[in-house]
Amino acid sequence: MLNRILAISKKEVKQLLRDKRMLFVLFFFPVFLLVIFGYAVNYDVQNVKLAIMDNDKTSTSRDLIRSISSSSYFEIVEYYENDKRGKEILDEGIAKGLMIIPKGLEKDIYSSREKINVQILIDGVDGNSATIIQNYSIAAIYAFNNKLNKEASQKVGFQIAPPIDLKSLFWFNPLLETTIYLIPGLIALILIVTAVVTVSLSLVREKELGTIEQINVSSLTIFELLIGKLTPYIMISFANAIIILIAGFILFGVVVNGSYVLLFLSTLLFLFASTAIGIFISVVSDSQQVAFSLATFVSLLPATLLSGFIFPIESMPEIIQWSTNITPAKYFIVALRSIIIKGTGLQAFWEQWIYMFLFATIFLLLAMIKNQQKLKNS
């Protein structure tokens, strides 16, 4: 049996080596997607364009403006004088936010016990960005308050301690860099698309060339045929995974904090599941065009929308959460983020391995059953 599987694998490798365009796509496409998504899909908000209306025009208000503009989060694009101009700035997209410093800011800081309200109006079209801008603004005002508090403490000669001292710590991704969060999802997306699409075309190509008849009349079993077809593509996908990890490290500084052995085994299980889906598609398709369209639809959309790659599954409606189980990318991403970002052991994601193994087994069995039915009907 092993000799027959190796023979099928060698045949598949020779066909791939003759198809230079396919080889180019297989090795160029993953790195291309990594670069495009890594740089384009980014939730970090920096250099937020901010317009300011300074109604106080004192040294304190200027200190506040300097404190805000010194951060990489904000860029002061305009100082405006009235509400009409402020509305125009937001309407025309000149700035994402308007900060309004009230008249009497400096006087009230040192003479009033009431809190002084500094207002910020934020363009809320993009809800995610608006929330982030709001948080940045709160952080900037908090930092300025601390500065004023320190200066006041030095003047009166003793420390004025706040009743509650809040310190925030972020684990696993201290700088909250979106790229580090997205890279594992990108790896899963790229691998499932390339694996499913390329494998789905393999058996269909045999049908279109007429060579499938020679295979059917040979002593090969359906199991040997499918495993022989899977093996070369799993090896190629592994090479792609290594290239993606190296590119992620060079371009974005993403390092693997966990075990490389666990990473290897997780990737092997995921590729087994992905190529099993491709084999099933190739069995049920009668042309390469149908196989390509079906493989792209089955792999790309669920892996992008339902895997937790971009949108947290916990935030989805319950019925949609159930539907996320249709893609093995969901389980692989959990394992990848645990290994690459958190550096945890198998105890954190062993269930994902079981799901991926079951996924692969079910689709291979379905492919074998469907192929046997076609042989009986032909």
Task: Determine how β-strand 74-79 pairs with β-strand 48-54.
Answer: parallel
Instruction: Calculate helix-pair angle for 178-209, 260-284, nearest 10 degrees.
Output: 40
Estimate to the nearest angstrom the gap between the alpha carbon of 334 and the chain centroid: 12
- What are the residue boundaries of the structural domains of the chain, listed by start? 2-41+178-377, 48-156
pLDDT of residue 18 exceeding 90, the answer is no
pLDDT of residue 130 exceeding 90, the answer is no
**Mean pLDDT in residue range 154-161:** 52
pLDDT of residue 142 exceeding 60, the answer is yes
Q: What is the pLDDT of residue 50?
A: 92
- When pLDDT is cut at 50, 70 and 90, the band that residue 372 belongs to is confident
Residue with tokens 């060698």: 10
Tokens of 128: 């995610």
pLDDT of residue 351 exceeding 50, the answer is yes
Q: Do residues 104 and 61 make contact, with C-beta atoms less than 8 angstroms apart? A: no
pLDDT of residue 45 exceeding 70, the answer is no
List beta partners, residue 76.
50
Please tell me the distance from the alpha carbon of residue 93 to that of residue 85, in angstroms, as a whole number.
12
**Mean pLDDT in residue range 174-186:** 77
pLDDT of residue 169 exceeding 60, the answer is no
Q: What is the pLDDT of residue 165?
A: 41
The reported pTM is 0.68
Candidate from 179-183, 193-197, 213-217 with smallest mean pLDDT? 213-217
Q: What is the pLDDT of residue 164?
A: 36
Estimate to the nearest angstrom the gap between the alpha carbon of 120 and the chain centroid: 31
Q: What is the pLDDT of residue 30?
A: 67
Please tell me the distance from the alpha carbon of residue 203 to that of residue 347, in angstroms, as a whole number.
38
List beta partners, residue 323.
none
pLDDT of residue 215 exceeding 50, the answer is yes
Q: What is the pLDDT of residue 154?
A: 64
Q: Do residues 356 and 272 make contact, with C-beta atoms less than 8 angstroms apart? A: yes
Q: What are phi and psi of 75, to 5 degrees?
A: -130, 120
Q: What is the DSSP letter of 69?
A: H
Whether domain 48-156 has CATH 3.10.105.10: no
pLDDT of residue 162 exceeding 50, the answer is no
* 122 SS3 class: strand
Please tell me the distance from the alpha carbon of residue 85 to that of residue 91, in angstroms, as a whole number.
10
Reported as a single tens digit per residue, the pLDDT across 185-203 is 888 988 898 888 888 887 7
Percent of the chain at pLDDT above 70?
79
Reported as a single tens digit per residue, the pLDDT across 62-102 is 988 988 888 778 889 999 999 889 888 887 888 888 999 88
Q: What is the DSSP letter of 347?
A: G
Please tell me the distance from the alpha carbon of residue 275 to that of residue 278, in angstroms, as a whole number.
5
Please tell me the distance from the alpha carbon of residue 365 to that of residue 371, in angstroms, as a whole number.
10
- What spatial distance separates the first Cα and last Cα of the chain, rounded to whole Å? 25
Candidate from 47-56, 67-76, 344-353 with smallest mean pLDDT? 67-76
Q: What are phi and psi of 48, to 5 degrees?
A: -65, 125
**Mean pLDDT in residue range 136-149:** 81
Please tell me the distance from the alpha carbon of residue 4 to that of residue 288, in angstroms, as a whole number.
25
* 74 SS3 class: strand
Please tell me the distance from the alpha carbon of residue 82 to that of residue 53, in angstroms, as a whole number.
7
